[in-house]
Structure 1
Amino acid sequence: MSVFLESLKKSGHLDRLDMTLCNVGSRKLGSQDDYASNGWSIFAPRLTIYGFDADQDACDLANADLETRSVNWTEQHIAAALGRSVGESTLYVTQDPMCSSLYQPNEPYLERFAGLSDLVNLDFTVEIETTSLDAITQDLGIQNIDFLQLDIQGAELDVLEGAVRVLETSILAVQVEVEFSALYLNQPLFADVDNYLRKAGFTLFDLATSYRPRTRSPIVSPHHPGQLLWGDAYYFRDLLEEKNRGSNVPNPEQIFKLACIADVMDFPDYALELLEYLTLEYGKKDINYNYAPNIVESLVQFPELKKQLGALPIIEKIRDYIKDYEF
């Protein structure tokens, strides 16, 4: 749940913001896979969403659903298998299509964990054409991607390695599914993905983890509910870090966009840090970067903070930027 975006929307700050999302592996299984249902619709009508999935039927269903909803943002789902480069590859279609991958399921290993074989075991294979994120965005004329989500069953690093240009030039945040054990043969694991993204200038903020117990075990510990097998890793650019300053000073609009992404992704502490920085660095010269009123309006929503608002360190720092407010 976002903290600051409603205030920023009401004050008109979002009116100048164009937000572009890219979801690789965009099959929609429920409301949790729909960006608009998870808060991103606040950026409409200046919101653009691109979904890529190897399954043509899944893309057709997603596009048909959008037509019936008459949405006020731009969203399209494109049938394409993304990988490291343009070429040909084998798609391993699994018992449950959502687990299909460019990597072959590790069936002997999967059998050791409850419920995985029925989902991930191989059904059939098909030869497909692959492309890279850099190539397809160039072909489609996509100039900018702000947020990238990847969920393609072990091939996430392949896509990242084929996204050098967009990672360097525009992406501010990445949500990527990672595996901690090889559910697919020879797949990259979390350490490989983490190392790549850190070298690309991203910082790990959080992991949402998933566990599975052994097939044969009738017992599971409440403290250790099986083995850690996969999860979602959340990465952001840290535009305030010293190495990101110097001659290559981040654009304040880029920092503002990053704050908005952090807020909608439920990292309000990072969003607040960025909004405070913009206020102190740019707020006196340009009212568009004075977010002090938005910070106050958002924090008073919390009863436990409202009573002591004037004593908060964050308020002490931005007090000179707030007019006509009595603490």
Structure 2
Amino acid sequence: MTKRIEPATRDGRNLRFLKICRELLELPIVSVDVGADGGVREWGELATLCAIHAFEPRQNSFEELQRSLTEISQPYLTIHNTGLARTTGKHRLYVTRIPQASSLRKPKPASFLLKRWRQDNGFDVTQELEIDCISLAQFVQEEKISHIDFLKLDTQGSELDILLGGGDFLHEISVIKCEVEFVQLYEGQPLFDEVVGTLATYGFRLFAFEEGAEVYRKRIWSDCMFIQSKFTDQARLMRAAAILIHIGYYEEALWLLIDHGVPVEIHQRLATARMEDITPTRTKLWQGFRGGARKLLNTLGVLQIAKKIFK
């Protein structure tokens, strides 16, 4: 089942960053979120400039995702109650005690996790479901999607399978946020080195680690950020830079634009607008008050000097 919420309007909030994005970018920004349990969190107000596809095959999580939609994200979001896999067809989903650990790959035995990492039974399989899945290549073909600006993968060990299911379309993806593991939590699961190496063959460069889990400085998993190294399409390049700035990677966006010969002033406009938008209102008011007070004091000082001169 696919739930599509048609946009009533494409108007965004009165934010400088959105205004400049409308001016500089060819819209919409195309985003695909695979494993959207917990909500589509990256976009906020920028959702008004996006076409977002979210995948969540587990019915309970799918319904929770529907309930979590905000007024901002609703019109621009299409929710797919299906899974993505390397091949289209029926696949077995291993549902675990902690639902977020469910995977198309079977979790490693509980004894391994208990001894090495977790002190609970969260990875115990409580149910095995047969679910419908589609490959990334077939999905973009059916939806007539020519590119993906931002792809987020959080599927507990099947991320590389999903990527490989995209085939040559991987060249048409700009930014990827992908969960990777450094130890096998699922049977036959590809680890960090293999994911990074495979994406490198498609032109992707790892540029950041985000949240993850460590045990006494032994890294278990992490969300990794990847960017295409070379862009031949200026429109895709500009959307990628705007995405990086929106999620806080200002310097990475600057290097990306400089590498492709884009004037630094473009980055300055986008970055300055974004930083001003996220500055708390209270801080802005204080800065305005402080600036006004300084001008007043300067004026009073000039008046005092003038009085002394012309006394």
Stretches of structure 1 that go unaligned for 5 or more consecutive residues are: 1-5, 214-224, 245-249, 284-288, 303-327
How far apart are residue 176 of structure 1 and its match? 0.3
Please tell me whether residue 28 in structure 1 is matched to residue 73 in structure 2.
no
| Secondary structure, counterpart of 2:148 in structure 1 | coil
**Which of 172, 182, 185 is residue 183 of structure 1 equivalent to?**
185
| Secondary structure, counterpart of 1:69 in structure 2 | coil
Evaluate the alpha carbon distance shift between residue 57 and residue 274 of structure 1 in structure 2; reply closer, same or farther with a 3 A threshold: same
Residue number in structure 2 paired with 1:255: 237
Please tell me whether residue 265 in structure 1 is matched to residue 268 in structure 2.
no
How many angstroms apart in 2 are the aligned matches of 1:292 and 1:84? 37
* Contact kept? 2:214, 2:221, Cα under 8 Å: no
**Which of 196, 204, 208 is residue 206 of structure 2 equivalent to?**
204
Q: TM-score, normalised on structure 2?
A: 0.74
How many angstroms apart in 1 are the aligned matches of 2:270 and 2:25? 18
How many angstroms apart in 1 are the aligned matches of 2:91 and 2:275? 54
Evaluate the alpha carbon distance shift between residue 180 and residue 282 of structure 1 in structure 2; reply closer, same or farther with a 3 A threshold: closer
**Which of 19, 24, 40 is residue 29 of structure 2 equivalent to?**
19
Residue number in structure 1 paired with 2:169: 166
Please tell me whether residue 229 in structure 1 is matched to residue 220 in structure 2.
yes
Residue number in structure 1 paired with 2:158: 155
How many angstroms apart in 2 are the aligned matches of 1:207 and 1:96? 24
Matches within 5 A, 1:285-324: 291=266, 294=269, 297=272
How many angstroms apart in 2 are the aligned matches of 1:203 and 1:150? 16
The count of corresponding residues between Structure 1 and Structure 2 is 261
Which residue type is aligned with residue 223 of structure 2? D
How far apart are residue 114 of structure 1 and its match? 4.6
How many angstroms apart in 2 are the aligned matches of 1:82 and 1:297? 37
Residue number in structure 1 paired with 2:58: 55
Which residue type is aligned with residue 184 of structure 2? A
Please tell me whether residue 9 in structure 1 is matched to residue 18 in structure 2.
yes
Which residue type is aligned with residue 81 of structure 2? A
| Secondary structure, counterpart of 1:125 in structure 2 | strand
How many angstroms apart in 2 are the aligned matches of 1:300 and 1:75? 26
Evaluate the alpha carbon distance shift between residue 235 and residue 55 of structure 1 in structure 2; reply closer, same or farther with a 3 A threshold: same
Residue number in structure 2 paired with 1:102: 104
| Secondary structure, counterpart of 1:118 in structure 2 | coil
How far apart are residue 100 of structure 1 and its match? 0.4
How far apart are residue 21 of structure 1 and its match? 0.6
Residue number in structure 2 paired with 1:138: 141
How far apart are residue 19 of structure 1 and its match? 0.4
Please tell me whether residue 119 in structure 1 is matched to residue 122 in structure 2.
yes
| Secondary structure, counterpart of 2:237 in structure 1 | helix
Which residue type is aligned with residue 42 of structure 2? Y
Q: What do the CA deviations read for 1:159-214 (whole angstroms, capped 9, x no partner)? A: 0000124312x21010100011111111111111111100010000012353444x
Evaluate the alpha carbon distance shift between residue 132 and residue 276 of structure 1 in structure 2; reply closer, same or farther with a 3 A threshold: same
* Contact kept? 2:149, 2:236, Cα under 8 Å: no
Q: Percent identity over the alignment?
A: 26
Evaluate the alpha carbon distance shift between residue 145 and residue 96 of structure 1 in structure 2; reply closer, same or farther with a 3 A threshold: same
| Secondary structure, counterpart of 1:35 in structure 2 | coil
| Secondary structure, counterpart of 2:132 in structure 1 | strand
In terms of Rg, which structure is larger? Answer: 2
How far apart are residue 13 of structure 1 and its match? 2.4
Stretches of structure 2 that go unaligned for 5 or more consecutive residues are: 1-14, 280-311
How many angstroms apart in 2 are the aligned matches of 1:15 and 1:234? 22
Evaluate the alpha carbon distance shift between residue 83 and residue 117 of structure 1 in structure 2; reply closer, same or farther with a 3 A threshold: farther
Evaluate the alpha carbon distance shift between residue 115 and residue 293 of structure 1 in structure 2; reply closer, same or farther with a 3 A threshold: closer
How many angstroms apart in 1 are the aligned matches of 2:236 and 2:101? 35
* Contact kept? 2:206, 2:226, Cα under 8 Å: yes
Which residue type is aligned with residue 237 of structure 2? I
Evaluate the alpha carbon distance shift between residue 237 and residue 64 of structure 1 in structure 2; reply closer, same or farther with a 3 A threshold: same
* Contact kept? 1:211, 1:226, Cα under 8 Å: no
Which residue type is aligned with residue 37 of structure 2? R
